[in-house]
């Protein structure tokens, strides 16, 4: 049970979060829609993983905000339809750190799991991800979950410039990268329970 003061802080942080997500929607509706779908997928997956109500809320919030740092990515990079140059790619790869900084600025006391999801959702199971090159179970659990949902949604969704893959093709890709990019247990559980 939250105190009145804690409840007020929670509400003002939620308002701030939605202000920034509205900005993201104006900047890149594709990214905003992806974040919204990820929050929905997180809700479904949370039940399959047996998370508590509090953990479910943390996962949904982290997935909803995971790409908030793209507010700092130049629009010319974010909305580019062709392949990114090395310089553009480096700029894009800053978004987890930029997102974590932004979230810390609008949450008086940000939940650590939400923060970790934003900061580490591009880490890879084999340690080849970014920003920190964490590997295996050193990657926070909710960030590992977000990585699977993020990849699945990115593959199956239509973009302005390409049609999304079929669900079965996306499953093949998840399986192919299970144990290198993704936590193999989470991939198995996601495919079994959410698709
Ligand atoms: Fe991302």
- The per-residue DSSP string of the chain comes to ---HHHHHHHHHHHHHHHHHHHHHHHH-HHHHHHHHHHHHHHHHHHHHHT--HHHHHHHHHHHHHTTGGGGGS-HHHHT--SPPPHHHHHHHTTHHHHHHHHHHHH-TT--HHHHHHHHHTT--TTS--SSS---GGGS-HHHHHHHHHHHHHHHHS--SSSPPPPHHHHHHHHHHTBTTTB-HHHHHHHHHHH-
CA of 1 to the centre of ligand 1 (A): 33
CA of 11 to the centre of ligand 1 (A): 25
CA of 67 to the centre of ligand 1 (A): 5
Residue 160's pLDDT is 63
Q: What would you measure as the largest C-alpha separation in the chain, in angstroms?
A: 50
CA of 133 to the centre of ligand 1 (A): 15
CA of 99 to the centre of ligand 1 (A): 9
CA of 39 to the centre of ligand 1 (A): 14
- Is the Cβ–Cβ distance between 42 and 63 less than 8 Å? yes
CA of 134 to the centre of ligand 1 (A): 16
CA of 3 to the centre of ligand 1 (A): 34
CA of 96 to the centre of ligand 1 (A): 7
- Is the Cβ–Cβ distance between 174 and 187 less than 8 Å? yes
CA of 66 to the centre of ligand 1 (A): 6
End-to-end C-alpha distance for the chain, whole angstroms: 35
Residue 159's pLDDT is 75
Residue 21's pLDDT is 96
- Is the Cβ–Cβ distance between 80 and 88 less than 8 Å? yes
CATH code: domain of residue 186 = 1.10.3210.10
Measured between alpha carbons, how far is 11 from 5 in angstroms, rounded to an integer? 10
Q: Determine phi and psi for 182, rounding to 5 degrees.
A: -115, 155
CA of 52 to the centre of ligand 1 (A): 25
Residue 108's pLDDT is 76
CA of 2 to the centre of ligand 1 (A): 31
CA of 5 to the centre of ligand 1 (A): 33
Q: Which domain holds residue 15?
A: 4-194
Per residue of the chain (195 residues), what is the pLDDT tens digit?
667 767 766 667 788 899 999 999 999 999 999 999 999 999 999 999 999 999 999 999 999 999 999 999 999 999 998 899 999 999 999 999 999 999 999 887 889 999 999 999 999 999 999 999 999 999 999 999 999 999 999 999 987 667 899 999 999 999 999 999 999 999 999 999 988
Q: Determine phi and psi for 57, rounding to 5 degrees.
A: -60, -40
Tally of domains in the chain? 1
């Amino acid at each position: 049970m939250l105190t009145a003061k804690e409840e007020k802080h929670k509400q003002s942080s939620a308002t701030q979060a939605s202000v920034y997500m509205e900005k993201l929607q104006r900047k890149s509706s594709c990214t905003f829609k992806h974040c919204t779908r990820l929050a929905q997928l997180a809700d479904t997956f949370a039940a399959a993983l047996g998370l508590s109500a509090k953990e479910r809320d943390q996962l949904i919030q982290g997935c909803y905000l995971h790409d908030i740092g793209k507010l700092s990515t130049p629009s010319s990079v974010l909305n580019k339809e062709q392949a990114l140059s090395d310089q553009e790619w480096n700029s894009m790869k800053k978004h987890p750190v930029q997102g974590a900084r932004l979230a810390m600025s609008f949450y008086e006391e940000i939940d650590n799991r939400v923060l970790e999801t934003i900061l580490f959702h591009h880490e890879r199971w084999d340690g080849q991800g970014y920003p920190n090159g964490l590997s295996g179970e050193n990657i926070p659990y909710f960030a590992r979950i977000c990585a699977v949902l993020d990849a699945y949604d990115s593959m199956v969704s239509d973009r302005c410039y390409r049609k999304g893959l079929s669900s079965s093709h996306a499953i093949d890709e998840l399986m192919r990268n299970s144990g290198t990019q993704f936590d193999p247990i989470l991939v198995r559980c996601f495919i079994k329970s959410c698709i």
